Structure 1
Amino acid sequence: MTEEIVIVGGGTGGTVLANDLADRLSPELDRGDVRITLINDSPDHVYKPVWLYVPFGQREPSDGRRPLSELLDDRVNLRIDRVSEIDTDAQALQTRESRDGTEYDKLVLATGSTLAPDRIPGLEAGGHDYYSESGSEALREELLSFTEGHIVLSVIGTPHMCPAAPLEFVFMTDDWFRERGLRDDVDITYTYPIGRVHGNPHIAEWAKPLMEERDIAIETYFNAEEVDPDAETIVGMGGSEIDYDLLVSIPPHSGVDLIAEAGLGDDGWVDVDKHTLEAEHAENVYAIGDTADTGVPNAGSVAHYQAGVVGQRLASEIRGRPATETYDGKTLCFIETGMDAASFVEFNYEDPPSPAPPSQKLHWSKLAYNESYWLTARGLL
């Protein structure tokens, strides 16, 4: 009888895992003992970190997009469809296009994060973002015509994709306007909802002095509740207001509704064992990347490392062996500190981050990784 492994979501985690399993389970696939199916609601794979560079004219959105069919091992069954229901008791999925449903023996959820700007009144009309393809393009047009005034970067939603990206944006914005000779006419303010500039205290301690040196104003404990596009103000809890000429936001994030509907966790995040990545409320279900509620950052590197762990665990289970591989919280991230310098952090559940001194070498290392990402997604790196 063929073992059915179904992966939902074709982002970094889902794509890397599908290719990892195709390699690990090559003999079983050749014999027809295993079938790997990846279901994604789009034919394209999107590498979202590219969007950070679009507003500054350094990348095009198309640079972060490839057909999934070109990235996946030929032995992976790719289905372009949207999963509408998960029945973990019957171990079956319902999709929009298929009336018969899809049964699974092992299910991996890699459904990622979605933006929910509508949770903040006025945000969609009054703010810009670079966490979406269309948002990054619109922001590019705004920045190109911006010569003076007040730019506010407000982190509204936490947790959010790529936790370092808000810091990167203000560092790059500062440098970008300096290079154009306009920085004296542009004020930059950064807001964060808790009492420091980043969720991780070690990164916050490193970043705050850099921001102060660069004359980037900081407003902590600022929890945005409303945006008034006409008055160009962003309103926080308690009625505090910040005026802006250009508002750039990190909108609230959520997962997909079917996670909560299946009883797997709240707000689209699956409750998992943070080491094994097994769902706590269902058998034979794993979650990786943003979908897995582990407490680690919602970063692409996390999804990549977790995919390797789940790949090894599934291969062991398919072969009737104990699954012993565990995830230790490993995360790594390059952090742009300007247009030609970057830092680097690596940490896990036990060891906190210690950002490296910014350098041009690390900046070029980040750009090199962005270019080689497609090899990573294919499982070649």
Structure 2
Amino acid sequence: MAGKTVLVLGGGTGGLVAANRLRRMLGREHRVVLVNRSYVYSYAPSFTWVMLGRRTGRRISRDLRTLSKKGIEFEQGEVQGIDPANKRVLVGERELTYDYLVVALGAQYSADEIEGLGRTWTYYHLEGAEGLQEQLPRFQAGRVAIVVSGLPYKCPPAPYEGALLLDDYFRRRRIRDDIEISVFTPESRPLMAAGEQVGGRIIEMLSQRSIDFHANARLTAVHHESNVLHFDDGHQAPFDMTIATPLHRVPDVLVQSGMAATGGWVPVDRETLATNFEDVYAIGDCTAIPLGDGLALPKAGVIAHGEAEVVTRNISAEINEGRPIWAYGGQGACFLETGGNRGTYVSGHFFAEPAPEVTMRQPSRIWHWAKVGFERLWLWRWF
């Protein structure tokens, strides 16, 4: 059999798992090529710990070029174009061809659509988390606003985890009484896809820690000169520090290639993750999968991981002349730190009908240390 080339675009969670799995399941006559704009991979679930000074960027980062020791080829560069009809991808000025393509390009961050959003703090990327690590020790008193700037956004628990961890951080510094913490979101409750029970429990946890929760708050502007947040219903909220999620949208190259519509995401078969193009699959944050209750499958690393497991098994089965029988079932789970070296665990079946079935465990030290252990396992296992 002639060797095949499987091209994986994106070196985040989904792309990293896909490249590793493919390399393990395919013979060495077949090529596995991973493409990413940077050679640095950073473990995003630990960004809140970086913000608080409990981790450094170096500790949670790895070099994607080291994957070559496993037989995974790494190409660094920006994906400039995708030609699914001719099975070609333009990376910088290099043209790469493929037999199978796995698109794991994630979501593209933006701030231009909301006035002043680009000047707010964020821990949704490593540089932002490191900036907060420097800024927080200087913050002595005032109002901290944590804002979900738009929907959808990846890692739905992150704004609430950040609020709870900041509460604990300021308490440890004995200045919590001088600081107000508020969470603003356009959602009617936290973690919409997780259901009313989970959302209600998170609101209760916030209330117990004197963290104000503002639902249905759609941000329209951040005026830094007057330190005021503006929302679409005319409501205003003063702040001294704003920590916001960036706006998320599908990468431009996927719109230009015809894989996604403007303002939308890549449509895929929810079980196989196949796109409308032959031998092209898409996983993770760049996709949109509708759920039974009218919402969409959350954008989260655990979802991308599960989708990568299915896609790679089916591609390997096809190449090895077997039957591609694997189907993604919509399972997902994540840790949510609550402060005080405690955490909780949210897990469920998102493809359940008529609505997802999701539960949240009681906060305990067990889940905090489980997250610590998972971080170590992840950075060891995939590199």
| TM-score category (smaller protein) | over 0.9
The residue aligned with 2:32 is 36
Letter in 1 for 2:373: A
Amino acid in the other structure paired with 1:68: L
1:72/1:376 CA distance change after superposition, 3 Å = farther
State how far apart, in whole Å, the 2-side matches of 1:371 and 1:74 are.
19
TM-score (normalised: structure 2): 0.92
* C-alpha distance in structure 2 between counterparts of 1:157 and 1:339, whole Å: 29
CA distance in 2 between counterparts of 1:369 and 1:146 reads: 31
Q: Are 1:307 and 2:317 counterparts?
A: no
Instruction: Give the conservation status (yes or no) of the 8 Å contact 1:16–1:376.
Output: no
Rate the CA distance shift 1:56–1:163 in 2: closer, same or farther, 3 A: same
Matches within 5 A, 1:1-381: 1-26=2-27, 29=28, 32=29, 34-71=30-67, 74-98=70-94, 101-125=95-119, 127-200=120-193, 201=195, 202-266=197-261, 267=263, 269-279=265-275, 281-294=276-289, 295-348=296-349, 349-350=351-352, 352-378=357-383
State the secondary structure of the residue aligned to 2:359.
Answer: coil
Structure 2: gaps (5+ residues): 290-295
**1:161-219 deviation line (CA, Å, top 9, x unaligned):** 21111010111111111122111111111111022233232431220111111111111
Deviation track 1:139-176 (CA, whole Å, cap 9, x = no partner) reads 22321111111111011122212111101011111111
TM-aligned CA deviation for residue 296 of structure 1: 2.1
Q: Mean Cα displacement is larger for which, 367-376 or 207-216? A: 367-376
Task: Give percent identity, aligned residues only.
Answer: 30
Once the two structures are overlaid, the 10-residue window that deviates more, 69-78 or 192-201, is 69-78
SS at match of 1:174: helix
The 1-side partners of 2:375 and 2:264 are apart by 28
Which stretch shifts more, 157-166 or 226-235?
A: 157-166
Tell me the amino acid that sits aligned with residue 40 of structure 2.
D
The alpha-carbon deviation at position 264 of structure 1 amounts to 1.0
- The AA in structure 1 aligned to 2:265 is W
Q: Matched residues in 2 for 1:339 and 1:287: separation?
A: 38
- Is 2:60–2:379's contact at 8 Å kept on the other side of the alignment? no
CA distance in 1: counterparts of 2:52 and 2:187, whole angstroms: 28
Q: How many residues align?
A: 369
- Report the TM-score when normalising by structure 1: 0.93
Displacement after TM superposition at 1:72 (Å): 5.2
Structure 1 residues without counterparts, runs of 5 or longer: none
Amino acid of the structure 1 residue aligned with 2:342 = A
Deviation at 1:71, TM superposition (A): 3.8
Distance 1:368 1:250 in 2: 26
Q: What per-residue deviation string (whole Å, max 9, x for no partner) do you get for residues 86-143 of structure 1?
A: 1111111122131xx2221110001112321222111122x11001222112222321
Q: Residue 160 of structure 1 aligns to a residue in which SS?
A: coil
- With 292-301 and 337-346 compared, the bigger mean Cα shift is at 292-301
Q: 1:47: Cα distance to partner?
A: 1.3
* Separation of aligned partners in 2, 1:376 and 1:261: 35
1:248 positional shift: 0.8
Question: Which residue identity does 2:311 align to in structure 1?
Answer: V
8 Å CA contact retained: 2:67, 2:74: no
AA aligned to 2:241 is: L
Deviation >6 Å, runs of 4+: none
